């Protein structure tokens, strides 16, 4: 047993020395990275994350010139509901896609939504009838209801492993006439053909 005791002691000494070093190192570094939350992970409100997705989708989808009134007409992102947080609109309004500015429009239920390019339908809203009225329109719908893509929506956002992913439904009417960047398809969780 004395041998084992010796080993215990040796490890103990090294461990204490190491601890001192580590504490010192940590002390010098404390104060950094304070903006992160306590779990050490990046956290954003789910709305802002959705705004970022919409912005990215509009970059990876190329609408034909005929989908715009003029060369520098805005790319219109629609949101269903007038109480969508202002941040989404503000964040997106400041962005451009190439030469085109982004314009965010908030729609009320019952309004015509044909004049936007990308339309976000939150699952808590009455999105089903909207999707039905857009059956023959070129609007690319984005939604996060569990059956959104199966019910004819174009892009369904899915929360999986606490991260936002998306499913693309190529059968959706909005995809006719637009060009999709291959990167968009390669990142999709699932592609419905």
Partner 1 sequence: MRREIWITVNFVVCFLLYSMVTPLFVSAGDEDILEMDLANLMDVQITSAGRKSQVLSDVPAAVYVINREKIFESGATTIAEALRLVPGLQVARINANRWAISSRGFNGTFSNKLLVQIDGRSVYTPSYSGVYWDLQHVLLEDVDRIEVIRGPGATLWGANAVNGIINVITLPASDTQGGLVSLGTGTHEKLMAGARVGTKLNTDTYARFYAMGNDRDSFVKASDGSDGHDGWKNGQAGFRIDGDKGIRHAWTLQGDIFRVESEQDVAIRPVPQFPYNDAIVDSVKSHGGNILGRWTSKNSKQDIWTAQAYYDYNTRDEYSLGQTHHTLDMDFQHRFQPSGGHDVVWGMGYRMVRDDFSNTFQVQIMPEAQTTHLFSGFVQDEITIIDDLLWLTLGSKIEDNDYTGVELQPNARILWRPAKRHSFWTSVARAVRTPSRMEDSGRILQGIIPFPMYTQISLNGSPEYDAEKLIALETGYRYAATNNFSADISLFYNRYTDLGGIVQEEDRWTMYFANNVKGNTYGMEFAVTWLPVEWLETEFTYSCLQMDITGDAYSKKTIEETSPSHQAGLRLGIDLKKNLRLNLWVRYTGEIKFMDFTNTDRYRYVVDDSFALDANIRWQINGNMDLTVAGQNLLDGDFMEYGSDSYLTPIEIQRTLYAKITWRF
Q: Does 4 bind partner 1 (CB under 8 A)?
A: yes
Q: Does 43 bind partner 1 (CB under 8 A)?
A: yes
Sequence-distant (6+) residues with CB within 8 A of 57 are 118, 140, 142, 155, 184
Sign of CA dihedral 108, 114, 115, 121: positive
Q: Does 182 bind partner 1 (CB under 8 A)?
A: no
**Contact pick of 37, 69, 82, 83 for partner 1 (by CB under 8 A):** 37
The torsion angles phi and psi of 86, rounded to 5 degrees, stand at -60, -30
**Contact pick of 15, 24, 86, 185 for partner 1 (by CB under 8 A):** 15
Q: Does 135 bind partner 1 (CB under 8 A)?
A: no
Whole-angstrom distance, CA of residue 86 vs CA of residue 160 = 26
Q: Does 17 bind partner 1 (CB under 8 A)?
A: no
Closest to partner 1 by CB, 72 vs 90, is: 90
Whole-angstrom distance, CA of residue 174 vs CA of residue 118 = 9
Whole-angstrom distance, CA of residue 121 vs CA of residue 75 = 17
Give me 2's structure tokens.
Answer: 């004395």
Residues forming the site for partner 1 (CB under 8 A)? 1, 4, 7-8, 11-12, 14-16, 18-19, 22-23, 25-26, 29-44, 46, 48-49, 51-53, 55-56, 60, 87, 91-92, 95, 146, 158-165, 167, 183-184, 187, 189-190
């Amino acid at each position: 047993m004395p041998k084992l005791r010796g080993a215990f002691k040796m490890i103990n000494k090294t461990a204490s020395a190491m601890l001192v070093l580590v504490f010192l190192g940590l002390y010098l570094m404390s104060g950094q990275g304070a903006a992160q939350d306590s779990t050490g992970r990046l956290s954003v409100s789910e709305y802002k994350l959705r705004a970022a997705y919409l912005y990215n989708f509009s970059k990876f989808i190329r609408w034909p010139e005929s989908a715009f009134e003029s060369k520098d007409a805005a790319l219109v992102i629609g949101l269903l509901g007038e109480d969508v947080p202002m941040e989404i609109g503000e964040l997106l309004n400041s962005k451009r896609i190439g030469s085109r500015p982004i314009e965010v429009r908030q729609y009320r239920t019952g309004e015509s939504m044909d004049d936007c390019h990308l339309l976000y339908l939150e699952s808590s809203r009455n999105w089903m009838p909207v999707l039905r009225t857009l059956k023959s329109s070129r609007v690319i719908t984005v939604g996060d209801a569990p059956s959104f893509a199966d019910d004819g929506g174009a892009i369904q956002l899915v929360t999986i492993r606490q991260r936002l992913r998306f499913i693309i439904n190529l059968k959706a009417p909005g995809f006719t006439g637009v060009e999709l960047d291959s990167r968009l398809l390669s990142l999709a969780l699932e592609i419905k053909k």
